[in-house]
Structure 1
Amino acid sequence: MNKFRQILLHIVIWASIMLMFMFIASGGNNLNYESMVIFGYFGVVNIAIFYINYLITLPTFLNRKRYVWCAIAVFLLVVFGTFIKCGLAYYFYNVVMVRNEGKYVLGFWEYFASASFVSCVFVFLSTVLKFIIDWFMNEKIKTNLENEKLISELAFLKSQINPHFLFNSLNNIYSLAYQKSQKTPEAVMKLSEIMRYMLYESNESTVKLDDEIRYLENYIELQKLRFKDKAYIIFEIEGETADKRITPLVLISFVENAFKHGVATDKDNPITIVLNVTSNKLYFQVINRKSNQNKDQTGGIGLQNVKRRLDLLYKGEYRLNIEDKEAIYNCELYLDL
């Protein structure tokens, strides 16, 4: 809401309150002179006290933690506002000071005490409003900072995926080139397609599930080239995947882990990848036989990375089961799309 609309809204609210009290004081009839004086002139003074405290006194002293000066400023505001009311009261003496049709007349100090109390009420209301708005603003700032931190962390995690994947893929292509394999150019082309997807098509918060599946298929084909078509991989896709979306680069870490730490050349124990979509639920499973030779001495960042991304993006909407047995490694991911 811009400044003009805020000011207009405040004017409308205060005008409505003043008119309502004038109408009530007039007994539901047409507005009379007495109610217009009491709730009109004095209402303006009270509203002025409200905003002087809200816009000047509190921001100047309270926000800077100058509490003593704030108390002094509030006291002076109440006293000054009350003296203005007293001046108005004596100007409209017969309306304000004379009560019960002339039978009772308010004394100065009696009216001063009453007017001071009303001034204090408006100071209190403006202070409460200030604290409420500041609390909401602080919560909004806190939420924005948390969101910015979340976005930064996600960006950092995603930035780790590309170098991690590229490092492993280049090692595979280097192996093909070292063996002078004729499939080295095909492997480079597959890597180019994969990197194009990672760099350009996966920049959105979600991508089409079919695109992510094609990305996995390209990766698997790249791995098959590495093993000279002696890799045994089963990739089963079940259910309706069209029109479904998923956070990009979430599934690849499980597949990459299977090739990196598993045995891909065992015909009797192939790497098995199952992707099943039922309604808006995704089930993804990767099973591989563990290799005793292919150990990642650096510890790897793939699965740690994906676990953190799942926590940030699908909190409460996913379940990850990992079975690390002596010979078999089994990952199962249940995800709400």
Structure 2
Amino acid sequence: MRNNRAVLTHGLVWLVLLAVLFLLNVREHPDRAAIMVLLYGALNIVIFYVHYFLINPLLIGAGRYWRAATYMAIVLVVSIAVKYGIALYYDDIILQYRDNDNQQQTLTPMRYSVAVLITGLFFMLLSTAVYVISSNFKTREDRKNLETEKLNAELAFLRSQINPHFLFNSLNNIYSLAYQKSDKTPEAILKLSAIMRYMLYESNEEYVLLEEEINYLENYIELQKLRFKEKVYVDLHVNIDEKGHRIMPLLLISFLENAFKHGVSTDPDKPIRIDISVQSGRLHFNAENAKNQVNKDQTKGVGLTNLRRRLQLGYPDRHTINVVESEHYYSSELFIYL
């Protein structure tokens, strides 16, 4: 695609330059305008691309200056010979001119050769300038692509860390239910199955629908509730201005994990509160809960560290994250411009 675009750009530029050259000559010299455009234009274009593809890589890329200078001399000598041959064939059109006294004059071979030499050097210099600019653009684009690939690889690695981390916690929970011979065990396995299906298949995309991510969070909450004999209170409020918003997958789960890790609530007056809203393209996620020292999970995971790095990679300068923790209270808040 990039090569096709470059060829099209070069073709259009040459077409415009040849058209301008024709228009500049057609009024004063209608008999030689076509010759200037077709013959001399084509020869100068050949000089440009011979220098572009053959000499510039030696001159700039490989540093083989003597070889490059030899090729330049050969190209200039050949171009002078060819152009002078054309001039001799069209002697009355190209070599003949009128001086200030309107007297017919003939260009000497030396004067004509110097003029052709200067023209050839101009197109070689132009070729080098275009080559340097194109090389810089290509280098910048390749570097950008490399950085993008690196970021994608790092994001994939960070995402892969979430799955075993979550799976480890969930299997522990189901093991506890099974050990207690709880009737909740089959339901917990079904919830985990739905969650894993989302994690394995849906979350492979770079972005997913926000509705799917919220459904995943709801399944996670239900799975967590099955762990406890007592009723667990979680208030989830969702307010989205319109459908179709997309978000990086598995981004919000770390907040829920930390909310449950710092203590589930069996007090209806102090539930875990989760608010998710989207207004004018800005996502606001807030999770807060009072700490429960009895049920508090003492394990430490990679959740928030992983989350911060994913946000830096996926939403640079487009997010704000705040975590407040005290002896009796835990709150996490996230703003993202989707």
* TM-score of the superposed pair, with normalisation by structure 1: 0.86
Q: Over residues 278-330 of structure 1, what are the superposed CA-to-partner deviations in whole Å (9 max), with x where a residue is unaligned?
A: 3433221111234666333xx52111122222222222332211112233221
1:95 matched to 2:98? The reply is no
1:158 matched to 2:159? The reply is yes
- Confirm or deny: 8 A CA contact 1:62 1:70 kept in the other structure: no
Match in the other structure for 1:218: 219
Match in the other structure for 2:56: 58
Kindly tell me: are residues 4 and 174 of structure 1, through their superposed partners in 2, closer, same or farther at Cα, counting changes over 3 Å?
Answer: closer
Structure 1 SS opposite 2:42: helix
Tell me the CA shift for residue 51 of structure 1: 1.6
Match in the other structure for 1:208: 209
- For residues 174-323 of structure 1, what are the structure 2 equivalents within 5 Å? 174-240=175-241, 242-265=243-266, 269-290=270-291, 294-296=297-299, 299-323=300-324
- Confirm or deny: 8 A CA contact 1:82 1:115 kept in the other structure: yes
Structure 2 SS opposite 1:248: coil
Aligned length: 333
1:113 matched to 2:114? The reply is yes
Ranges in structure 1 where 5+ consecutive residues have no aligned partner = none
Distance 2:332 2:68 in 1: 62
Kindly tell me: are residues 49 and 237 of structure 1, through their superposed partners in 2, closer, same or farther at Cα, counting changes over 3 Å?
Answer: closer
Distance 2:290 2:8 in 1: 71
Kindly tell me: are residues 185 and 241 of structure 1, through their superposed partners in 2, closer, same or farther at Cα, counting changes over 3 Å?
Answer: farther
- Confirm or deny: 8 A CA contact 1:209 1:241 kept in the other structure: no
Q: Residue 27 of structure 1 aligns to which amino acid in structure 2? A: R
- Confirm or deny: 8 A CA contact 2:58 2:67 kept in the other structure: no
Q: Over residues 96-143 of structure 1, what are the superposed CA-to-partner deviations in whole Å (9 max), with x where a residue is unaligned?
A: 333216543333222222211111011111112222222222222222
Ranges in structure 2 where 5+ consecutive residues have no aligned partner = none
Kindly tell me: are residues 90 and 28 of structure 1, through their superposed partners in 2, closer, same or farther at Cα, counting changes over 3 Å?
Answer: closer
Match in the other structure for 2:135: 134
Match in the other structure for 2:83: 85
Kindly tell me: are residues 93 and 302 of structure 1, through their superposed partners in 2, closer, same or farther at Cα, counting changes over 3 Å?
Answer: same
Tell me the CA shift for residue 255 of structure 1: 0.3
Q: Residue 24 of structure 1 aligns to which amino acid in structure 2? A: L
Q: Over residues 75-112 of structure 1, what are the superposed CA-to-partner deviations in whole Å (9 max), with x where a residue is unaligned?
A: 33223322322333334333333321654333322222
Match in the other structure for 2:22: 22
Kindly tell me: are residues 4 and 313 of structure 1, through their superposed partners in 2, closer, same or farther at Cα, counting changes over 3 Å?
Answer: closer
RMSD: 2.9
Kindly tell me: are residues 42 and 208 of structure 1, through their superposed partners in 2, closer, same or farther at Cα, counting changes over 3 Å?
Answer: closer
Structure 1 SS opposite 2:204: coil
